[in-house]
Chains A and B, each alone.
Chain A
Amino acid sequence: MHFLVYFIFSVLLLSIQTTLLPAFPRFFAQYDLMIPFVVYLTLFRSSNGILPVVLISGCLMDLLSGGSIGIYISAYILILICFRHAKVYFHFKNAILFQIVIILSVLIENIIFALVIFFQTFTFHFSFYSGCILVTQLLWALVSSPLIYYIFEYVFNEVDKLVTGGLREKV
């Protein structure tokens, strides 16, 4: 049941960021919304069914995006691996942790993108425009992640209530 909810949620996020967000000026549409979702699943949800959801989400993103196939899957898997293990060292759960991890994840995704582009062209061309995109993404990650955290908390608490009758899913 949780898997189904995660899957629907990821499709919803994907639809929002490919249809709704591009309607805004590019400044507001720089941010991969799937990252907070993957990070939230990684840090605050149990392992059951996360990997398939992350794989499917990455696959969908890869198929719909113009980038090389596998770029999003790699980014999400790397985020999952990195922070699944790092979670052991953090025994607290709050929006600040989420915020820091989101910023790091955005950096990871962009590094993967940069590496893929580098291997495609064998030239490293870091323009002012690229710098602006990166900085804007990081700023948006900083600003929006606490809000996204509380939205996810609310939504998944409601989902837990619906699925398990009020018991929170064991992390």
Chain B
Amino acid sequence: MFSKKMMVAVGAVVLISLYIIVFSFAYLRHVSFGGAATRTALFLASPFQAAISSSMNFMDDIWSHYFFLIFVSRENDELKKKLAQAENKNSQCREIELLNLRLREFVKLKEQSPFHLEAAEVIAKDASPWYKTIIINKGMDDGVSDGCPVIVSEGIVGYVLTASSSDSKVILIIDRNSSVDALVQRTRTRGLAQGIPKGLCRFDYALRKLDVKIGDNVVSSGFDGIYPKGLRIGYISKIIRRNAGLFQDVELTPYVDFTKLEEVMVILSSPLEDNVGD
């Protein structure tokens, strides 16, 4: 009754219509039989999926934490090397940063100071604990001569004891053979700042009747012919006033930390000398 071609065409139309109907009502899956079927499927399949998945994780874990350890170990070695290099570089950077800070202070000091200053590096210190001297890497070739005062931004360091062509020996103000004519900034009380072995100074010849207090700032008086006037020396840290005697015992703590001296400034000439030269 129907030809074969006719049957195929009708079948195709019915199939397409069925597809259209099914896709048009796809949202029904969420609320009807489709949703329940999915839940059932999930319920049935999920234990197996979880088992397989955890097995795979287990295998992956074994691979990455055991078999792969050999590679991790190598990688660890490499990373350790890189870390050491980075730490080294970090330390160098830190060192440069600190040097930069110190040099900035020096530049500031050089700009503000009325004197001709020459920066120098401390290359050695006295071998004996009884004497306090340092060797700096600037000498007569750089204009440094015997008796030149040596300072840092905190205050007086000492003066050049002997200058060679390229290096100089500097006696520090805390050496027992060093003394600076000084005065208390607040009261203008004069005295002599003399080095004592424990790395401090004694403020000698300060009359007992004169007003000196702990914490007073002490500066150079300029009368000793070495240090220009007004350079900071230290502060008064201890006073003993005895019942008898002309003078009081005064101890002076220098502003400069002599254990950490790395760079210093040498005063080559004072403005006064320049004027004389002119």
Minimal beta-carbon separation of A133 from chain B (angstroms)? 5
B127 adjacent to A133 (CB under 8 Å): no
User: Would you call A67 and B128 a contact (CB within 8 A)?
Assistant: yes
Given A19-B123, A19-B124: A66 and B169 within 8 A (CB)? Answer: yes
Interface membership of chain B positions 146-173, coded 1 if the CB is closer than 8 angstroms to chain A and 0 otherwise: 0000000000000001000000010100
Q: Does A51 have its Cβ within 8 Å of any Cβ on chain B?
A: no
CB distance from A12 to the nearest CB of B (A): 13
B132→A66 contact, CB < 8 A = yes
Q: Which residues of A contact B129 (CB under 8 A)?
A: 26, 29-30, 133, 137
Shortest CB–CB separation between residue A120 and chain B, in angstroms? 7
Near B by CB (< 8 A), chain A positions 51-102 give 61, 64-67
In the bound complex, what is the Cα–Cα distance between A67 and B129 (angstroms)?
A: 10
CA distance A121 to B123 in the complex (A): 30
Question: Which A residues lie within 8 Å of B126 (CB)?
Answer: 18, 22, 64-66
Interface size class of A (residues with CB under 8 A): 20 to 34
Given contacts A26-B129, A66-B128, 10 further A-B contacts (CB under 8 A): A17-B127, A19-B125, A22-B124, A32-B127, A67-B131, A113-B128, A120-B177, A121-B176, A127-B197, A137-B129
A30 neighbours in B (Cβ, 8 Å): 129
Which residues 103-144 of B sit at the A interface, judged by CB distance below 8 A? 123-133, 135
Complex interface: chain B residues within 8 A of A21 (CB):
127
How far apart sit A122 and B177, CA to CA, in the bound complex (Å)? Answer: 13
B197 touches A66 (CB 8 A): no
Q: Which residue of B lies closest to A23 (CB)?
A: B125
Closest to A20 in B: B124
**Can you offer 12 A-B residue contacts whose CB atoms are under 8 A?**
A18-B125, A18-B126, A22-B125, A22-B126, A65-B131, A66-B131, A66-B132, A67-B130, A113-B130, A120-B177, A133-B197, A137-B129
